[in-house]
Amino acid sequence: MRPQKIEEPEMLNGFAKLFREKGYEGTSLAELAEATGLKKASLYHRFPKGKEEMAKAVLLNVNNWVEEHVFNTLTNQLLTPEERLKNGLRSIKKLYDDGNTPCLLQAFSIQSGINVFNQLINDSMSYWVDAFTNIGLAFDLSQSVAKEKAIQVLIDIQGSLVVSRGLNNPNIFINTLNNIEVIYTKN
């Protein structure tokens, strides 16, 4: 296999940056091509179904990163619950660039036509709830309370990203992440 001009992981990261900032409709193939250094036609060689396939690949790529760095950390039986939570939150902080980067799921949930990403978004969010339910159980919460708290954590993360961006103050996101540790350790 001859070397490609740009490797897929690097490409998907470039796509993600565009999609997060501009949304699905707001990102053009011209911009996607420019981000890779390739021409539009070359993108179609790698993603025959076009922009939609690129967006789905980006979503799956982010999901894989989250699985490795967030889910696997939160459920790592070799660590104490406190360590799992601390390390998981550190990864989340990195994922959203300390509150400076919007969430891809939010960006893709706004779109024209019937939303072909709805199922993927639903799956991803359920995944986040499962991960935090798991850490709640590690803190000896009941299943129902653990799930309730997990949903609140997701609300806090998503909401603080929105508000941080709206008020132009990433510290709101940082403070929210710090408070999440308290939510689990205060009881």
Could you tell me which residues come within 8 angstroms of residue 89 by beta carbon, excluding any fewer than 6 positions away?
Answer: 177, 180, 181
Mask 25-54, x = binds DNA (CB under 7 A)?
A: --xxxxx-----xxxxxx-xxx-xxxxx--
2 in contact with DNA (CB under 7 A)? yes
Asked whether position 113 contacts DNA by CB under 7 A, the answer is no
Q: Is 114 in the site for DNA (CB under 7 A)?
A: no
Spatial CA neighbour of 9 closest among 64, 75, 80: 64
The residue (of 75 and 111) whose beta carbon lies closer to a copy of itself is 111
Smallest separation, CB 104 to a copy of itself (Å):
10
CA–CA dist 60, 65 (Å, integer)? 9
* Binding-site partner at residue 155 among a copy of itself, DNA, none, CB < 5 to 8 Å by type: a copy of itself
- Closer residue to DNA (CB): 5 or 186: 5
Query: Does residue 164 bind DNA (CB under 7 A)?
Result: no
CB of 77 to a copy of itself, least distance (A): 27
Q: What DSSP string describes 137-184? A: HHTT--HHHHHHHHHHHHHHHHHHHHHHHHTT-THHHHHHHHHHHHHH
Distance, in Å, from the CA atom of 47 to the CA atom of 51, rounded to the nearest integer, reads 8
Torsion sign over Cα 5, 9, 13, 15: positive
Say which entry of DNA, a copy of itself, none residue 45 contacts (CB below 5 to 8 A, set by partner kind).
Answer: DNA
Cα(9)–Cα(58) distance, rounded to whole angstroms? 9
Q: Quick check: 145 binds DNA (CB under 7 A)?
A: no
* Footprint of DNA (CB under 7 A): 1-2, 4-6, 27-31, 37-42, 44-46, 48-52
